[in-house]
Structure 1
Amino acid sequence: MKIALLSYSTKPRGGVVHTLALAEALAAAGQDVTVWTLGRGGDAGFFRPVDPAVRLRIVPFPDGPPEETVGERILRSIAVLGRAFEPFAAAYDIVHAQDCISANAVGGRCVRTVHHIDHFTTPELAACHERAIVEPYAHICVSAAVATELADGWGIEAEVIPNGVAYDRFATTEPAARANWRARLGRYVLTVGGIEPRKGSLDLLEAYALLRCAHPDVRLVIAGGETLFDYRDYRARWEARAAELRVEPVVLGEVAEDELPPLVAAASAFAFPSVKEGFGLAAMEALAAGVPLVVRDLPVLREVFDSAARFATTHQDLAAELGAALTYDAPARRTRGRRLAARHTWATAAERHLTFYGSRLKDTSRTPLREAVPAEGAR
């Protein structure tokens, strides 16, 4: 089967991590797989090496003018990726879009994975989000909770195929690498995903201020965070509130691929207070590393993590549960977490995708792409 997987970035965001891991698992199963994406800011490759069995088509996407808005950048992203992909579209048996930008770029001819459902107020983004849900001819969700949202909101039936997790990569980190992070940071609570509204960053900051009353030696460490959206106002609010609370979290930004597993494994607890998620891949990686996990009490995270995590609703709850995790986390809970993470393999995810692709080939639409501006070439 000839498969195109489309993403929107080369950076280590959850959907991009998912795309590459799925592509490699599909290629390992004997499929002909190409990943298409945009190379923003001169990127000519992904954030990590990709198995050479997977073909890469990275479409150059130069920075726009300083006055370009988020909405304009999104529309330009759609146009550039769509125009680059159009001459090759008919060569693929399956075109699978992993986000709303790539789904808009290829129109109704694609299978779409809906990782989570956003609610935008910017008109361009709201329209793109809606088209990316209603136009694809088939849908996959990474959890039943998101599939239920899709059914309730749009009457769309989606196949549920959970994420895989690179279990061995996080479960078997080198002791020296973990020790290096501990020597640098001391005892710390980690979160991965950056500072943004969807990640519940302000709530985590408030929780950390409370947590320090009982655990003054514990630091809050924040890794990751590359995104297309402009969260400067939110980041400014976050920084102002940190100053008011007199706390100084460590903001690492993007962490090198080989440094992330020991950073996770060396944490004393992992916080995942997102207000909207589809699965929680970073949190599942923490379970693979044997790190106590505290998550927001959302239906999707109850579904995915069940008794392997602690749950919190308010920032006061979050502080209390993190404190409990730091004080004593039952070995049985850690064992459940490791077993849960080990069950989520990319090989299984690939097998289920192939079954789904085969069942939907007859429905493939050859609807032409919408008008787009000329692409600037593909690598």
Structure 2
Amino acid sequence: MKIALLSYSTKPRGGVVHTLHLAEALAALGEDVTVWTLGRGGDTGFFRPVSPAVRLRIVPFADGPAGETVGQRVVRSIATLRDAFDPAPYDIVHAQDCISANAVGRCVRTVHHIDHFTTPELAACHERAIVEPYAHVCVSAAVADELRTGWALRAEVIPNGVAYERFATTDPAARVSVRSRLGRYLLTVGGIEPRKGSLDLLEAYALLRADHRDVRLVVAGGETLFDYRDYRARWESRAAELGVAPLVLGPVPDDELPVLVAAADAFAFPSLKEGFGLAAMEALAAGVPLVVRDLPVLREVFGPAAHFAATPGQLATALGHALTAEDPARRAAGRELAAAHTWAEAARRHLALYRSLR
């Protein structure tokens, strides 16, 4: 079967990570897989090496004019990918986001999470990318329920996999090196943006510092299509008011991420909106105590393997517990949960869906 998987970026965002792992797992099953994406900022490849069994088609996407809005950039992204992509050679065209779904026309669509945009171009893009695809996949039942309630659409629920061994078997010497450089630290991955609950985590960290002065907050990641400069400025201003100085690493090289995760004392995942929580599942694979926002979708995905909290105060309390209390049963449950989510199984379930649609 010839399969096209489409994403909007080469950068390390959750949907892009998902796309590459799924493509490689489908190719390992013997399928003919091509990944299409936009090469932003002069990119000619993805943020990590991709199996040679997967074909890559990276469409150049030049920087826009000065003053280009997010809405204008989205419209230009759709047009650029649409002009380059020909669906004719493929048996299945599977879009992983609203930009690629708008660009390719008739397709299968993975809805990772439901957004609520106010920018007109984004709102229209989001709506079309939900209602126009002829089949839908969600990575959790909670998001599938949102599709059913909001649009009367039925989605196939296929959870993410996780690169378990990559996070579970990091080099002890490398972990010691990271610890010697960073000390004790609380890690979050995903950058500083509204959906990630960054301001709430900052407030929680300031409260946590009352009893854990030696623990640093480390923020990794942050590649995004959107402009969060105003939110970042608010975050930095609030950090100064609170008298805290988190370490903001920005995007971390892919080969350095597993040891950064594994060396952390706890992992914070206070997102306000998620479809699955792949970065948090990677933390469980590494055996790191996990604190997540108390959302139905994260209750569904993580169950007894995580601590849950809704407010900054509750986040601080849960993080304090994660930092101090030995909890081997929860740690074991986390590793077991992460190990059960394989990309091979995700690929087999996608392939069964594709065959049912032909």
TM-score by length of 2: 1.00
Q: Partners in 2 of 1:360 and 1:230 — Cα distance?
A: 38
Of residues 290-299 and 173-182 in structure 1, the stretch that sits farther from structure 2 once superposed is 173-182
Q: Structure 1, residues 275-307: CA drift from partner, whole Å, max 9, x if none?
A: 000000000000000000000000000000000
Task: Quote the residue 1:100 is aligned against.
Answer: 98
Distance 1:336 1:89 in 2: 43
Question: Is the Cα–Cα contact under 8 Å of residues 195 and 235 in structure 1 kept in the other structure?
Answer: yes
Q: Is the CA contact (8 Å cut-off) linking 1:292 and 1:329 kept in structure 2?
A: no
The whole-number CA distance in structure 2 between the counterparts of 1:221 and 1:246 is 15
Secondary structure at the aligned position of 1:335 is classed as helix
The 2-side partners of 1:41 and 1:258 are apart by 21
**Which amino acid is the alignment partner of residue 282 of structure 1?**
A
Per-residue CA distance 1:210-229 (angstroms, 9 max, x = gap): 00000000000000000000
CA distance in 1, matches of 2:175, 2:102: 42
Q: Secondary structure at the match of 1:357?
A: helix
CA distance in 2, matches of 1:7, 1:135: 17
Counting only pairs closer than 5 Å after superposition, residues 29-40 of structure 1 correspond to structure 2 as 29-40=29-40
Aligned residue in 1 for 2:116: 119
- Paired residue for 1:330, among 327, 330, 337? 327
- List aligned pairs for 1:314-329, cutoff 5 A: 314-329=311-326
Q: How does 1:151-230 map to 2 (within 5 A)?
A: 151-230=148-227
Match of 1:235 in 2: 232
1:13 aligns with 2:13: yes
How far off its partner does 1:359 sit? Answer: 0.6
Tell me how far apart the structure 1 counterparts of residues 7 and 81 of structure 2 sit (CA, whole Å).
Answer: 10
Q: Separation in 1 of the partners of 2:68 and 2:129?
A: 23
How far did residue 327 of structure 1 move?
0.6
Distance 2:313 2:103 in 1: 43
Alpha-carbon separation, structure 1, partners of 2:298 and 2:55: 34
- Give every structure 1 segment of 4 or more consecutive aligned residues whose post-TM-superposition deviation is greater than 4 Å: none
User: Within 2, Cα distance between the matches of 1:65 and 1:217?
Assistant: 45
Aligned runs of 1:38-187 on 2, under 5 Å? 38-85=38-85, 88-107=86-105, 109-187=106-184
Q: Partner letter of residue 44 of structure 2?
A: A
| 8 Å contact from structure 1 (residues 283, 293) kept in 2 | yes
- Asked if the contact 1:307–1:333 (Cα under 8 Å) also holds between the matched residues in 2, the reply is yes
Q: Distance in 2 between matches of 1:178 and 1:102?
A: 38
Distance 1:132-1:329 versus aligned 2 partners, 3 A rule: farther
1:67 deviation in Å? 1.1
Aligned residue identity for 2:215? V
User: Which residue type is aligned with residue 62 of structure 1?
Assistant: A
For 1:256, the equivalent position in structure 2 comes to 253
For 1:346 and 1:356, locate their aligned partners in 2 and report how far apart those are by CA, in whole Å: 15
RMSD: 0.4
Give the match's secondary structure for 1:214: coil
In the alignment, which residue of structure 2 is the partner of 1:309? 306
- Structure 2 residues not aligned, in runs of 5+: none
Residue 136 of structure 1 deviates from its aligned partner by 0.2
Q: Deviations over 1:322-344 (max 9, x none)?
A: 00000113100000000000000
Change (3 A) 1:267 1:251: same
- How far apart in 2 are the matches of 1:250 and 1:351? 40
Q: Percent identity?
A: 81
Q: Deviations over 1:14-33 (max 9, x none)?
A: 00000000000000000000
Query: Counterpart amino acid of 1:206?
Result: E
Higher RCO (C-alpha under 8 Å, 6+ residues apart): 1
2:291 counterpart residue number: 294
Partners of 1:352 and 1:164 lie apart in 2 by 11
Q: Distance in 1 between matches of 2:47 and 2:2?
A: 24
CA distance in 1, matches of 2:53, 2:11: 20
- Mapped to 1, the partners of 2:76 and 2:223 lie a distance apart of 18
- The letter of the residue matching 2:110 is T
Aligned partners of 2:124, 2:180: CA distance in 1, in Å? 48
User: How many angstroms apart in 2 are the aligned matches of 1:122 and 1:16?
Assistant: 23
User: After superposition, what is the alpha-carbon deviation per residue over 1:54-104, rounded to whole angstroms, capped at 9, x for unaligned?
Assistant: 00000000100111000000000000001100xx31110000000000000
The aligned amino acid for 1:347 is A
Which secondary structure state, in structure 1, belongs to the residue aligned with residue 209 of structure 2?
A: helix
Provide the C-alpha distance between the structure 2 equivalents of 1:41 and 1:149, rounded to a whole number of angstroms: 34
Structure-2 separation of matches of 1:252 and 1:75: 30
Task: State the alpha-carbon separation in 2 of the partners of residues 62 and 322 from structure 1.
Answer: 42
Q: Confirm or deny that 1:276 pairs with 2:273.
A: yes
SS at match of 2:284: helix
Superposition TM-score, scaled by structure 1 size:
0.94
> Secondary structure of the residue that 2:245 maps to in structure 1?
coil
* CA shift for structure 1 position 179: 1.1
State how far apart, in whole Å, the 2-side matches of 1:93 and 1:158 are.
20
